[in-house]
Amino acid sequence: MRKPKIVILGAGYGGLLTTVRLQKLIGVNEADIVLVNKNDYHYETTWLHEASAGTLHHDKVRYDIRDVIDRSKVDFVQDTVVEINKDEKKVILEKGEVDYDYLVIALGGEPETFGIKGLKEYAFGITNVNSARQLREHIEYQFATYNMEEEKNDNRLSIVVGGAGFTGIEFLGELTNRIPELCHEYDVDFHKVKIYCVEAAPTVLPGFDPELVNYAVSTLERKGVEFLIGTAIKEAVPGGILVAKGDAEPYEIKSETVVWAAGVRGNSVIEKSGFEAMRGRVKVQPDLRVPGFDNVFIIGDSSLVINEEINRPYPPTAQIAMQQGEVVAKNIAALVRNKSELETFTFDNKGTVCSLGEDDAIGVVFGKKITGGKASFMKKVVDNRALYMIGGAGMVLKKGKFNLF
């Protein structure tokens, strides 16, 4: 009898966790497992703000996928997914195609620019290892060039971060640690450096406890960040951005470095493949399958799960992606064994910690508010836990964060 073929797209938090769980749950004779990913490495998306600011080398945030998969059970294909042909149960890749009986789409998200003109062309993103390397190099280049020019261009020392959500704040935390180092290295006066955080919403870190938000804002302000809250980016132009508070006239902030960190949408493959989606995210069934497609699961940033308590979607997080991965692995094992009872996904919120640099953070863990060194310690525990869940103790020893105090 022909073995069913399980194809997993994306080796991020959701996809790789599904793979390592499936390789334990499923016997070689029960099904073929294929994992497709653009790169031959997995990266810790939740650490990209560090690689982007230059406080952590990009090799520390990634590891070889082959180090965590069981190659006798999983066939790894390094390729880019172009489109999914649902009718023919086929995935079109850049260099070929792969057919499936069961499909897990775990391709992560993409930056949402809300149609703001110029952002795609002129702003940097914090999205993957390539973008992190480029941003780190770009910032360093601005500092290295500043004293080379006869006519000093102060815009080289002006950095704008669009978005005061999780990604923006974590990046600012790292950046404010990195800037003094760059000033020292390139003989640049620290007082000449300008760091702006522009946020259209009326508050920093919407949804976070106000006391913790105040802690984060005052910490970052002390380190030189100027917050422009309730201020929208209207357009990105070469050498700066146009912003406006409410209905007021837009004005320009000059900057050679604009970083867009204000929103995530689902992977463009989703809409290209004709799935019904909201901002590229598919509202999945409780068992994480796509309505109308009993053999297709979507997890992670490309899925949309409603928080029934507030009747709004959960924000996309690694925590959710990994918990979904656990459920999908069990559900696919059940389907392979012809069981029709599938597990329902319920998000178990273990808490959230937002880092403010190397040794500072804010968070709510098991319902308790924490700040400073304690929160920073918890952040590293959370980071190491993600490594452990996918790669076991060996991966923690290899890539873990041990500067816990």
322 DSSP β-pair partners: none
Residue 147 to residue 132: CA distance in whole angstroms: 25
Q: Does 81 bind ligand FAD (CB under 6 A)?
A: yes
Q: Note whether 68 and 387 are within 8 A (CB).
A: no
Window 338-397: residues binding ligand FAD (CB under 6 A): none
Stretch that binds ligand FAD, among 112-120, 214-222, 315-323, 327-335 (CB under 6 A): 315-323
Rounded to the nearest 5 percent, the helix, strand and coil shares of the chain are 35, 30, 35
Q: Does 14 bind ligand FAD (CB under 6 A)?
A: yes
207: left (phi over 0), alpha (psi -120 to 50) or beta: left
Point out the catalytic residue in the list 44, 50, 170, 174.
170
Q: Does 80 bind ligand FAD (CB under 6 A)?
A: yes
Q: Does 38 bind ligand FAD (CB under 6 A)?
A: yes
Closer to ligand FAD by Cβ: residue 156 or 265: 265
Shortest Cβ distance from residue 82 to ligand FAD (Å)? 7
Q: Does 111 bind ligand FAD (CB under 6 A)?
A: no
DSSP sequence for 269-323:
HHHHTT---BTTBEE--TTSEETTEEEEEE-GGGEE-EETTTTEEPPP-HHHHHH
Residue pointed to by tokens 């009718």: 87
Q: Does 84 bind ligand FAD (CB under 6 A)?
A: no
For residue 371, the tally of other CB atoms under 10 A from its CB is 17
Per-residue binding string, ligand FAD, 121-150, x by CB under 6 A, is -----x------------------------
All residues at 6 or more sequence positions from 249 whose CB lies less than 8 Å from its CB, including other chains: none
Closer to ligand FAD by Cβ: residue 20 or 126: 126
Stretch that binds ligand FAD, among 10-18, 174-182, 219-227, 245-253 (CB under 6 A): 10-18
Closer to ligand FAD by Cβ: residue 39 or 134: 39
Among 68, 106, 172, 390, binds ligand FAD (CB under 6 A): 106
Q: Report the residue closest to ligand FAD, judged by CB.
A: 12
Identify the burial level of 65 via C-beta atoms within 10 angstroms of its C-beta, where 0-12 means exposed, 13-18 middle and 19 or more buried.
Answer: buried
For residue 214, the tally of other CB atoms under 10 A from its CB is 12
Shortest Cβ distance from residue 328 to ligand FAD (Å)? 11
Residue 283 to residue 276: CA distance in whole angstroms: 8
Among 7, 22, 35, 49, binds ligand FAD (CB under 6 A): 49
Among 48, 123, 172, 336, binds ligand FAD (CB under 6 A): 48
Catalytic residue list contains 308:
no
Structure tokens at 205: 């870190």
CA distances from 273 to 105, 106, 267, 268 (A): 12, 14, 11, 9
Shortest Cβ distance from residue 137 to ligand FAD (Å)? 17
Closer to ligand FAD by Cβ: residue 256 or 301: 301
Stretch that binds ligand FAD, among 38-46, 152-160, 211-219, 328-336 (CB under 6 A): 38-46
All residues at 6 or more sequence positions from 57 whose CB lies less than 8 Å from its CB, including other chains: 51
Among 143, 146, 166, 208, binds ligand FAD (CB under 6 A): 166
Q: Note whether 74 and 267 are within 8 A (CB).
A: no
Q: How many residues bind ligand FAD (CB under 6 A)?
A: 32
DSSP sequence for 24-88:
HHS-TTT-EEEEEESSSEEE-GGGHHHHHHTSS-GGGGEEEGGGTS-TTTEEEEE--EEEEETTT
b vs e for 290-310, b when ≥16 Cβ sit within 10 Å of the residue's Cβ? beebebbbbbbbbbbbeeeee
Closer to ligand FAD by Cβ: residue 63 or 102: 63
Q: Does 15 bind ligand FAD (CB under 6 A)?
A: yes
Q: Does 107 bind ligand FAD (CB under 6 A)?
A: yes
Q: Does 273 bind ligand FAD (CB under 6 A)?
A: no
Stretch that binds ligand FAD, among 25-33, 162-170, 338-346, 388-396 (CB under 6 A): 162-170
Residues lying near ligand FAD in the complex (CB under 6 A) are found at 10-15, 36-39, 45-46, 48-49, 80-81, 106-108, 126, 166-167, 170, 267, 269, 300-301, 316-319, 321
Instruction: Please identify every residue annotated as catalytic.
Output: 170
